[in-house]
Chains A and B, each alone.
Chain A
Amino acid sequence: MLRFIVRRLVQMVGVLIVLSLLLFLWLRSLPGGTVSAILGERATPASRAAMEAQFGLDQPVWVQYAKFVGRVLQGNFGPSTAVLPGRDALDIFLQRLPATIELSLFALAIAVALGIPLGYFAARRKETFLDNASVVGSLIGVAVPVFFLGFLLQRVFAIELGWLPVSGRQSTGLDATRITGFFVLDGILTREWDAAWDSFKHLILPAVTLATIPFAVVFRITRASVLEVLDEDYIRTAESKGLTARIIRGRHILRNAMLPVTTTIGLQVGALLAGAVLTETVFGFAGVGDALATAFRLRDYAVLQVLILAAAGIYVIVNLLVDIMYAVIDPRVRTR
């Protein structure tokens, strides 16, 4: 087991190194970039050349990469040029991460809370109107573009009804204390209940938007695995034994059907990260996805590199954890 983990970790480092090199070369091979983004219309060949010389962009690309690696080894990923100029790119990632985690967890909670019961009932009433409607409904949820959905939700719940805020992570006048960067948690820890409640309200609309895709997945997996379990002999046995419907549902159907569902839930992380790019942009939510969109638009290469590498790293780590979890849960895997 340990050897397996170590080997995977080594592979992961290899993947990330290769990816960093490819990214670096790719970014440097493109025209324009940072200098154009900073100078705008004011750029003249002279000011352009001066800035390129300052940044070492006039040197061969392998020299630039060597310098980059040298800096990274000292824990310095280079200053951002647009997202938060001057700040180290890694700091920006770490500063934005809690927001995205908070949002993703909440979205996942929504997806699970709705997806499992709906999936269960759809399976129990297979090929009824409820089943067909929820299958089609979950697909529509996936096909509606995020900005359209976000706009509609803002319109209805923030403007027409006035129940929820339009965008952001917290109301501006609150002056809340920050400890962890998870605003709701911070509010609870410091007993600033109004701040916690306010942050929670800010989470609802983006989380619902972000939840549409994981919801569809959880719903479909639940439906499929409940269908599978329903056909098993032990359910028939249980029924013929005269067990109550509640016991059958709790002990036999759900418990057995939940195994694939739980593993799926663990695997939603990457999809949530990706979905956060659009959702956070629409809801002005200061997370990693918002930073990524800004970095793309303004060619903030230092931030881009860190965010893409970090996203890949998170994906690889989650995969590793899932594989380890499999081994722990399933004795058949462990013996391999």
Chain B
Amino acid sequence: MTFKRKATPFAVLTAAALALTACAQSDRDDSGSDSGSTSGGGSSTFTFGAAGAPKVMDPFYATDGETFRVTRQMFEGLVGIKAGSAEIEPELAEKWEPDASGTNWTFTLREGVKFHDGEPFNADAVCKNFERMFDQNPAGQVAAEYWAGTFGAFKAKAAESLYKGCEAKDEKTVVLSVTRPTSGFPTFLSLDSLSMQSPKAMDAGKANDVVAQGEGFVYPAYSKAGVGTGPYKLEKYDEANKTVTLVRNDDYWGEKAKNAKVVFKIIPDESTRRQELEAKSINGYDLPNPADWKGLESAGNKVEIRPAFNVFYLGLNPTKNPKLTDLKVRKAIYQAINREELVKTQLPEGAKVATQMMPDTVSGYNKSLQPVAYDPAAAKAAIQAAGGLTLTFAYPSEVTRPYMPNPQKLYQAMAGDLEAAGIKVNTVTKPWNGGYLDGVDANAFDAFLLGWTGDYDSAHNFIGTFFGSLDANNFGLTKQAFGKTLAADLAKADSTVDEAERTAMYEKINQQIQEEYLPALAISHSPPALVVGEGVEGVVASPLTAEEFSGVTVGGK
């Protein structure tokens, strides 16, 4: 162990490093070295802290909020969403009109729109997009969840699909045909997944070549570099440093983005995101923990509370517990829960006790309904009259949802209330991805905690998703006497073309669900939030969490 012997490897290393240096070239672009958010004059950067990495850069195969937050800045659909609301507005289509049957819709397209690669956006491009989405291979059919969730089926089962065809009438007129009228169309064309993408780039990158392998999908080259029409385009996804950089699209058809760049920095740890904001190295982050809202505000940040577009419910499933087919029992469970206290002590500011299974921002919401009152005495009496009740009551671990910030605490509060009403509770807990969702699907629990965040403004997207299918639901509706009627009523409302008539039908169904059916107990609506630092203006909180960052300014510029 002399120093001489030790020195040899160092010498070798140094020599190797020098040799490498000789061939290592900086490929840095000199113009792109502006750093930070301080420089004004349109070259500034908006840096946003994300909790997770975007999955693909082709929104068609994306399913999660972390991905959509990024793709939303780069892509646009025919139909857009009005900032700060759930209402739709024209985007790439200037207007649309149905024919009398409600199945053929004529879209008039915006002129002068170009994709990021310079390709023109026109009727032809629209039809190519829809044909592309419709014509998926078996793996793609599974990967493209939002198409499956809205249009139902793909080309392979064309008869079952809502999509019928697309016809380019002229350069700026396109007719989209559906097989039957439905309440969701064309509203759901505002979904990020159904955005318009450059046909040329999709062809070049073999956008449809998804392969299922092992337990995952292998995506084609295009999925790493999607090309849209939005105010920003992808500059770089630096995987080694977990940052996504978007750069302003200077040929954007509308008002150009205020910041030259938007950077998404991926920071998985909640408390680290907050530290970053306080160190001013990011300008904002999504879904701050409700526990932090107060502290964040008092430190000068702005917590933008989004209108709640979700519902948190206690699902009941009579499959293994026939007593739950008794409306009196279900109602007693509802009365036993002190929801006022729950909302006050465990849910964030702006949370509300629910009166029905959808939030008030959705058309079809029944304003006349009152919350079922907390009445432990009545509950106790009803349970006794029913000869007692034992409930297998489940809650998920390893998860937080905007509607359910802390499942365990919420569960404990409710389970305590149920026990006080004389119900015997068997607690079951499973990891969200490790048995809980499976268990709910497999009717394994009598009672469970779950919720739903709406995808677009439609009653069908809420109660239709819950109760619209007699066979595929989590509430054992085949065992409930009302199940068939409810599903049929929902289907009927969904296919009603006249909007006023449809809204009235949904209001009635909501009333029946609350007063006669109670397949699930609506608990609350909790608003998610996002937070931005001092001096950040122009972030409009969206109930659909569909914030666009092109109008954001940093530091008063």
Contacts and interface: CB of A to CB of B under 8 A. Distances in A.
B322 interface: no
Interface stretch (B98-106, B142-150, B489-497): B142-150
Nearest to B29: A175
Contacts of B242: 168-169, 284, 286
16 contacts: A30-B434, A31-B434, A33-B433, A46-B472, A54-B139, A76-B213, A85-B56, A85-B216, A85-B217, A166-B276, A172-B35, A172-B263, A175-B32, A177-B24, A185-B17, A299-B434
Interface in A120-147: 147
Given A166-B276, A294-B268, A54 B32 contact: no
B334 interface: no
B162 to A, nearest CB: 16
B268 A290 contact: yes
Interface of A: 30-34, 36-48, 50-51, 54-55, 57, 67-68, 71, 76, 78-86, 95-96, 98-99, 147, 150-151, 154-155, 158-159, 162, 165-179, 181, 183, 185-186, 188-192, 255, 258-259, 262, 281-284, 286, 290, 293-294, 297-299, 301-302
A36 B214 contact: no
B214 A191 contact: no
B240 interface: yes
Contact of A281 (B1, B36, B216, B269): B269
A256 to B, nearest CB: 10
B219 interface: yes
Contacts of B432: 36
Nearest to A77: B214
Q: 7 smallest A-B Cβ distances: which pairs?
A: A78-B214, A173-B35, A79-B216, A31-B435, A189-B24, A86-B219, A190-B26
B218 A79 contact: yes
Nearest to B244: A172
A32 B215 contact: no
Given A173-B33, A189-B17, A284 B266 contact: yes
B239 A286 contact: yes
B26 A177 contact: yes
B55 A175 contact: no
B219 A85 contact: yes
A84 B54 CA distance: 8
A170 B519 CA distance: 52
B437 interface: yes
Contacts of A293: 268
A162 B278 CA distance: 10
Contacts of B275: 151, 154-155, 158-159, 166-167
Most buried by B among A34, A51, A166, A178: A166
Contact of B28 (A31, A175, A188, A297): A175
A304 to B, nearest CB: 11
Interface in B254-293: 263, 265-269, 271-272, 275-276, 278-279, 281
Interface in B406-459: 430-439, 441-442, 450-453
B239 A84 contact: yes
B35 A171 contact: yes
Contact of A42 (B145, B240, B245): B145
Contacts, number: 226
A32 B435 contact: yes
Contacts of A85: 55-56, 216-217, 219
A54 B240 contact: no
Nearest to A303: B216
Contacts of B437: 32, 36, 39-41, 43
B224 to A, nearest CB: 9
Contacts of B243: 168, 172
B241 A169 contact: yes
A283 B90 CA distance: 42
Most buried by A among B28, B450, B451: B28
Given A81-B216, A175-B33, A284 B272 contact: yes
Nearest to B39: A173
Nearest to A179: B24
B49 to A, nearest CB: 9
Contacts of B198: none
B212 A181 contact: no
Most buried by A among B27, B29, B139: B27
Interface in B476-526: none
A177 B398 contact: no
B223 interface: yes
Given A55-B214, A151-B275, A154-B275, A298 B433 contact: yes
B213 A78 contact: yes
B63 interface: yes
A190 B145 contact: no
B34 A281 contact: no
A95 to B, nearest CB: 6
B535 interface: no
B62 to A, nearest CB: 9
B141 interface: yes
A290 B241 CA distance: 12
Contacts of B269: 147, 167, 281-284
Interface string B31-67: 0111110000000010100001101100000011000
